[in-house]
Structure 1
Amino acid sequence: MSTKTPSEEDILRPMKHTSKKFFVAFALAALAFGVFLMMWSYQLSEGLIVTGLADWGSGGGVTWGLYIGAFIWWVGIAHGGIILSAAVRLLGMDRYMPVARLAELLTIAGLSAAGFYIIVHMGRPDRMVTSILGYYHVTVNNSPLVWDVTVITMYFVMTATYLLLTLRYDVSRLRDDLPSHFEPIYKLLTIGYSEKEDPVVERMVWWLALAIIIMAPLLLHGGVIPWLFALIPTMPGWFGAIQGPQFLTIALTSAIAGVIIISFAFRNAYDWDHIITDDVFRGLTLWLGFFSLLFLWLQLQQITSGVFAAPTDQTYATAAKLSHPAYVGSIALVFGALGYIFAQTIRPSLFTKPRAVATGVVVLIATLVEKAFFVAEGLMYPTFGLYDAVPGSYFPSIIEIFSVIGTIGMVVLFFLVVAKIVPVVELHAIEHLRGDHGHGHEPKSESAQEAEVEA
């Protein structure tokens, strides 16, 4: 365990030092995102048919697939990320303060990726204007899809406000040490700032955190997004009240896995073992296990109601799900991750940070596959089929697969760029780890006072 004392210099290191690994990561992420943009341009020129989506009917297939599955996945990661950050502030979970801002940034990046998927899947981006914005006053009253766009936009604004309010404190105090070429950004971030606003901002951020915690189960990944599916009784694979809690547990599971991976990357890249400590990873891994257990339990609830004396259409849809390798494989991956977490809880020597990261990667893959399967399989077994043909099959096209790789690259680029502009660890976290209670406004510690006297 490191005995180094956290300092402002630590959180400034990403902005002041650029290694070869940074350029390699930037190049790979840009390549992944660039390749997908090329494929998307091909889709724009030829139509959505190049993905095989929208080919429904006597030819089989589905209208929604990996695009919508990945959209749900990214939204879940985003919602879970800001819930984690809000819980740190509301519940006094000081252990996780060093990763709170990383979780907030993950929310911004995840919502951006999810919003991008909406545009990609619409086939023609101009439909955002002609179909949604132009008729918003009509569609918002009766379209779950428009409810979805509305709450995601609202959540993005709330999260950005939450993040910007906390950044004002950091930027104002670190201003002299920040890169001078970003001075216009810092001036914009600190317009009208004075130290007198700090207590007011603290209260505002607290109320925002409370609103985020309340909205998550009611309107976001526990409400509006699962309602897109749960309110359609003609799709037995989707319909049911279990979808809200299930989506929420998947969101929290995916978000914690994402925070583990990002935290590990920054810790290794910038020698932050004394800031993002082993204790943080142990705690995050235990929370990952808890929500993975909830995820599996809710899956069991859904399966049980689909196989025991269920209606014919529900039985048929459930049997198809249980016989598909994608579903069985994703559940097996979560079981494997949970098994490791349980084992390292009983025998702590089994815990290592690389294993925690590997567990996070496994969970992210499992939740992505499960969500994509949920979307596609739910369309294949409706209660009332329009065609007599046997349900077709679906496998993601290369364009859809690269959309996931490309959006991951986009999120990586976001973190690499943001880390060069603003601190990705709150100054409050450094002050707390150092013992400067009250965020720099309380009297200094006795040792600091004695040092000043001696000087």
Structure 2
Amino acid sequence: MATSEAGPDHILRPIENTSRWWYVAVGACIAVTMVWLAGWGYQLQEGLIVTSLGDWGSGGGVTWGLYIGAFIWWVGIAHGGIILSAAVRLFGMDRYQPVARMAELLTIAALSMAGLYIVVHTGRPDRLVLSILPAYPTTVQSSPLVWDVTVITLYFVLTATYLALTLRYDIARLRHRLPSILGPVYKIMLLGYSEEEDEIIERMVWWLALGIIVLAPLLLHGGVIPWLFSLLPSMPGWQGAVQGPQFLTIALTSAISGVIILSYAMRWAYDWEAVLPDEVFRGLTMWLGLFSLLFIWLQLQQVINGVFAAPADLQKFAYAKLSNEVFILVVIVMTIVLAYIFAQAVNERVFTKNRSLAVSFLVLYATLSEKILFVVEGLQYPTFDLYSGVPGVYVPSLVEGLSLAATIAMCSLIFLVIVKVIPVVELHAVEGHDDHGNGHGDASDEEVTA
């Protein structure tokens, strides 16, 4: 829970104070995005041949690569983010309330990046309008890929609704200190607002949080997305009931890492020691350790099943995975992460925010690498053997690499803009808490109704 020194002035600092570093960050994000747009324009002109993707053939290769691996990674960050936020509200985890809205905003931004990868990977975006959308009523009945897009859209709507409901309380009390140029937007967001609705909205948001927590293992990274891969019997590297739990743990590790990085940046930029004390970072790092341990454990499950008395096609894939330098590096990185978090648990003096920041970046690298490797090697070692010889080599092209840099830049840019528009920490988090853990403080800056 935020310390008693925290108050509305703290959470309004990002809106009221703009440093030169904010402009530098915005400029850098725009520059990276513009470079990628040039690369994407080149891809649109020449076709997907400018990437390292290719149809199966005598030369080998993969039809999915970094684009789909990064898509899964961004979806995982998004789904893990909203699960984190929902858990804070549902289970009364008041200590983490200051990061709940940041997790929601991370979900919105990450889902946007995942959606962008769908557009980029189609090769021709017009196909989405001319071919895919008209066929939706038919394909949604049988295509796991269309189920995937449907679930992502559902969670985008749920997250946006969740965020909009919780914002009404804050905007009503802080509206006089928010940017006047956006007054009409705030007025729309406060349509029909009255103080009597606060308790009702708290109940609505609680039920939304419950729905998110329930749906996560059934439809999100524990369900539809792993089904997209594990239901294809011709790909031994994708099969197995363990894919659901594996995807879910990777989503949570990625999301917690992203929240730690965002929280660190906000504390550094706006002197938020009172809003985001060390206890928040230490606690988040411990949760990161739990889900990282599950990540490694489930990887071990897959390896054991692939090398001990496995069918020939699965065994071939398992040994290829174990000998891949990328996978070996992922295991080393996650071992370092777990060693630090275990040491922190045993001796609190080992903990520092800088170390937690470092392991968060390492985890994001490891989860991204694992997802790309999962997609690529799953395609390189199918059960069927249409073509003889080696399966081919895949190395992401410059255009693909630029897309990853650009989506990270655009996600950062979305957050940089949002911090100037709305409070990224709930007012509840810096107010007194009632018996139910909901922050309805007696004092507020100003009561504003639409």
Shorter-normalised TM-score: what interval? Answer: over 0.9
Q: How far apart in 1 are the matches of 2:37 and 2:167? A: 32
Q: How far apart in 2 are the matches of 1:218 and 1:87? A: 16
Structure 2 equivalent of residue 450 of structure 1: none
Q: How far apart in 2 are the matches of 1:251 and 1:304? A: 23
Q: Deviations over 1:226-281 (max 9, x none)?
A: 11110011100111111000000000000000000000000110110111110000
Partner of 2:12, secondary structure, is helix
1:73 aligns with 2:73: yes
Partner of 1:105, secondary structure, is helix
Deviation at 1:31, TM superposition (A): 1.1
**Contact 1:380 / 1:391 at 8 angstroms: preserved in 2?**
yes
Deviation at 1:223, TM superposition (A): 0.4
Structure 2 equivalent of residue 365 of structure 1: 365
Q: Deviations over 1:88-147 (max 9, x none)?
A: 001010000000000000000010000000000010111111232101110000000100
Q: How far apart in 2 are the matches of 1:141 and 1:221? A: 20
1:184 aligns with 2:218: no
**Contact 1:6 / 1:433 at 8 angstroms: preserved in 2?**
no
Q: How far apart in 2 are the matches of 1:216 and 1:435? A: 28
Structure 2 equivalent of residue 243 of structure 1: 243
Deviation at 1:54, TM superposition (A): 2.5
Q: How far apart in 2 are the matches of 1:240 and 1:211? A: 27
Deviation at 1:4, TM superposition (A): 6.8
Q: Deviations over 1:38-71 (max 9, x none)?
A: 1111101110110021342111110000000000
**Contact 1:55 / 1:61 at 8 angstroms: preserved in 2?**
yes
Gaps of 5+ in 1: 445-455
Q: How far apart in 1 are the matches of 2:92 and 2:203? A: 14
Structure 1 equivalent of residue 421 of structure 2: 421
TM-score by length of 2: 0.96
Q: How far apart in 1 are the matches of 2:147 and 2:438? A: 40
Q: How far apart in 1 are the matches of 2:437 and 2:377? A: 53
Distance 1:253 1:197, change over 3 A: same
Q: Deviations over 1:177-205 (max 9, x none)?
A: 11111111111211111111111111110
**Contact 2:94 / 2:437 at 8 angstroms: preserved in 1?**
no
1:152 aligns with 2:152: yes
Structure 1 equivalent of residue 203 of structure 2: 203
Structure 2 equivalent of residue 448 of structure 1: none
Q: How far apart in 2 are the matches of 1:342 and 1:184? A: 50
The list of structure 1 runs, each at least 4 consecutive aligned residues, that deviate by more than 4 angstroms after superposition, is 433-438, 441-444
TM-score by length of 1: 0.95
Partner of 1:164, secondary structure, is helix
TM alignment of 1:7-406, pairs within 5 A = 7-406=7-406
One-letter amino acid of the structure 1 residue matched with residue 371 of structure 2: K
Deviation at 1:155, TM superposition (A): 0.4
Q: How far apart in 2 are the matches of 1:341 and 1:440? A: 35
Q: Deviations over 1:307-326 (max 9, x none)?
A: 11000101101000000001
Q: How far apart in 2 are the matches of 1:441 and 1:337? A: 39
One-letter amino acid of the structure 2 residue matched with residue 266 of structure 1: M
Partner of 2:45, secondary structure, is helix
Q: How far apart in 2 are the matches of 1:16 and 1:165? A: 23
Distance 1:414 1:63, change over 3 A: same
Partner of 1:236, secondary structure, is coil
**Contact 1:76 / 1:247 at 8 angstroms: preserved in 2?**
yes
Q: How far apart in 2 are the matches of 1:210 and 1:4? A: 29
**Contact 2:62 / 2:379 at 8 angstroms: preserved in 1?**
yes
Q: How far apart in 2 are the matches of 1:132 and 1:372? A: 25
Distance 1:435 1:413, change over 3 A: farther
What is the count of residue pairs matched by the alignment?
443
Structure 1 equivalent of residue 447 of structure 2: none
Q: How far apart in 2 are the matches of 1:100 and 1:80? A: 12
**Contact 1:74 / 1:113 at 8 angstroms: preserved in 2?**
yes
Q: How far apart in 2 are the matches of 1:27 and 1:443? A: 39
Q: How far apart in 2 are the matches of 1:442 and 1:171? A: 16
Alpha-carbon RMSD: 1.7
Deviation at 1:387, TM superposition (A): 1.1
Deviation at 1:437, TM superposition (A): 7.1
